[in-house]
Amino acid sequence: MTLLANLKFSFKNLRANKKRSFLTILGIVIGVAAVIIIMAVGAGAQSLIFNQISAQGSNLIGILPGYSDENGPPASVMGVVVTTLKEDDAEALRQIKEITAVASYSRGVDTAQWQNQKIDATFVGTVPDYTIVEDVKIASGSFFDESENKAMARVAVLGYQAAEDLFGRQDPIGEIIKIKGVNFRVIGVVEKRGVVAFQNQDELIFIPLQTVQKLLLGVNYVSMIRAKVINDAEVPDAVAQIRQILRERHDISRPEEEDFSARASAQALDAMKQITDALTFFLAGIAAISLIVGGIGIMNIMLVAVNERTREIGLRKAVGATEKNIQQQFLVDAIVVTLSGGLIGIVLGFIVSALVAIVANYLGYDWDFVITIPSIILGASISCLVGIVFGWYPARQASRLEPVEALRHE
């Protein structure tokens, strides 16, 4: 029989046993769909991370408390409170000529209240340079200045969503809100910014750093410092100067003793790419295990098919079919089953991945829908490979049946 005739015969067998065919390919469908979805979600998550970091600018340098080498994040990112960075450190970094602005941050979470309206809010203690570093625009009112920061002024600037949740359509400028029992006068509202660095910026409330440290948190350290460099070309030199200045200020002589981590956005992108790539392929490998389970199911069904078609095999051999012809027929059957499952799995994976991207974007995340040609080719190739690997043994068993014994089979 020709390959085309084998294919027609295989599809005829699929249609003749629709339920069994469906259950046979289900494992392949799930396995291929899982691989496609995981690779697409991994690529989408990677694009989200890249978009979030890139949105902040490629000329930014982040300084976090706690030592970090190339193999891991600083301790502060791992949930450990490290108190090695102070506002005086940020002040020293402002003297670097390549740096245009430096912002310090101290964060807290509490209830913000206006009259009878309450919201759970994240308040950010920062400095006037925050608007330059983060490229923030003010929708109404103004941001606080350095004199208000030094005087521990009880003023607040609301994120777009925080203002809307507390005041609705009423103008919040000049109104008094309460956080941790302290009254703050609203002096400004920030323009809508959306999600940046995995934080909805519109829900934040900005308060002078000195006020947050002394009145709300009772601390003398900052959780992060961010510096904006004149241009991308000056970033490496600025990072080197930052490390040198902080070592001198913290009385550190060796790099491995550093109690801070200074990295540019580009370095963060490289590190996150390595992490997300490794995680994506690891999860895809786990998902691919289901293909092995599906392949075992196909082998089992093919062995049953050999038993059911024993008399047919004997008849075909009696009229001149060779072992190669029989083996080819059953291999084609296995490949058709797995390839059909693979194609359905690819379509299912495409649909689910698209839905994930739609939901993520609806929630405000900059998530790209990424289905790569290599992942589709990989899904189809794996399907064929599973068919060949797990269909070979049943095909071999069928081809070795003796014609006389096969014709006697009941």
pLDDT surpassing 60 at residue 3 = no
- pLDDT bin (cut points 50, 70, 90) of residue 377 is confident
pLDDT surpassing 60 at residue 389 = yes
CB-CB neighbours of 356 under 10 Å: 17
pLDDT surpassing 50 at residue 78 = no
Task: Give pLDDT, residue 164.
Answer: 94
CB contact set of 52 (below 8 Å; sequence gap of 6+):
195, 196, 197, 198, 366
Question: Who has greater pLDDT, 399 or 32?
Answer: 32
pLDDT tens per residue, range 194-229: 776 667 889 999 999 999 999 999 999 999 999 999
Are the C-beta atoms of 335 and 391 separated by less than 8 Å? yes
Task: Give pLDDT, residue 57.
Answer: 62
- pLDDT bin (cut points 50, 70, 90) of residue 80 is low
pLDDT surpassing 60 at residue 270 = yes
Let me know the angle formed at the C-alpha of 298 by 4 and 292, rounded to the nearest 5 degrees.
Answer: 120
Q: What is the mean pLDDT of the chain?
A: 79
pLDDT tens per residue, range 139-192: 999 999 999 999 999 999 999 999 999 999 899 999 999 999 999 999 999 999
pLDDT surpassing 80 at residue 50 = no
- Considering only 43-47, 160-164, 245-249, 350-354, which range has the smallest mean pLDDT? 43-47
